[in-house]
C-alpha cells in the first residue's frame, strides 16, 4: 500500500472517532473543517436534518498576494539591541516570530466569514469538528478566528 493511502486511512479513522462524539443540532450546529493542500473549507451542518446551513471556502476569498518579506519582518534594527547597545548575536537570541503564511491568512479569513454567516443565521454556539486533522496550524487559526468573531465552542 502507498504511503498516501495509509495517511488517508489514518485520518479517516481519527475522523470517525471525532464524529462518534460530535453531533450538531439545529440550535447548535456542527462546524466541520476540511483542509486540502492549498485551501480550507468550513461548513455549519445540522445533523438532525442532514442539511448544510452555511459554507465558506478559501477558493473564493479575495485576499491580496503575499506581502513582501521586508514588511513582514519590520522592526529589525540591523542586529543591535536597543537596551544595551550590544550585538544580538553576542548575547541570548530572542525568538523571532515567523511571518504568517498565505494559507494561515486564508484560514483566518474563512473563520471570520463563517462566524459572520452564523451570526446572520442567528447561531451563536457551535460544536467544532476538526475532521481528523490536528488542532494545529490552519485548523487552529480558523477556530481562533471564528471564536474572536463571535462563535462559541
How large is the average pLDDT for residues 134-146?
96
pLDDT digits (tens, 9 = 90+) for 69-122: 444 434 444 444 445 555 555 556 667 777 789 999 999 999 999 999 999 999
C-alpha cell at 57: 471556502
**33 in a domain, yes or no?**
yes
Q: Closest Cα partner for 123 from 94, 153, 83?
A: 153
**92 in a domain, yes or no?**
no
CATH code of the domain in which 119 resides: 3.30.420.100
Domain of 113? 3-61+99-148
- The whole-number pLDDT of residue 89 equals 56
**85 in a domain, yes or no?**
no
Angle, helices 102-120 vs 138-148, to 10°: value is 40
**23 in a domain, yes or no?**
yes
Total number of domains in the chain = 1
Amino acid at each position: 500500500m502507498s504511503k498516501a493511502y495509509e495517511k488517508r486511512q489514518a485520518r479517516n479513522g481519527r475522523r470517525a472517532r471525532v464524529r462518534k462524539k460530535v453531533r450538531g443540532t439545529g440550535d447548535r450546529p456542527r462546524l466541520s473543517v476540511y483542509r486540502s493542500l492549498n485551501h480550507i473549507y468550513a461548513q455549519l451542518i445540522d445533523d438532525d436534518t442532514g442539511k448544510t446551513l452555511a459554507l465558506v471556502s478559501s477558493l473564493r476569498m479575495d485576499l491580496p498576494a503575499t506581502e513582501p518579506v521586508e514588511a513582514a519582518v519590520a522592526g529589525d534594527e540591523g542586529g543591535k539591541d536597543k537596551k544595551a547597545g550590544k550585538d544580538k548575536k553576542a548575547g541570548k537570541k530572542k525568538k523571532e516570530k515567523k511571518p504568517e503564511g498565505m494559507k494561515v491568512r486564508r484560514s483566518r479569513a474563512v473563520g471570520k466569514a463563517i462566524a459572520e454567516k452564523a451570526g446572520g443565521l442567528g447561531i451563536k454556539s457551535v460544536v467544532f469538528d476538526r475532521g481528523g486533522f490536528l488542532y494545529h496550524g490552519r485548523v487552529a487559526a480558523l477556530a481562533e478566528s471564528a471564536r474572536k468573531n463571535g462563535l462559541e465552542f
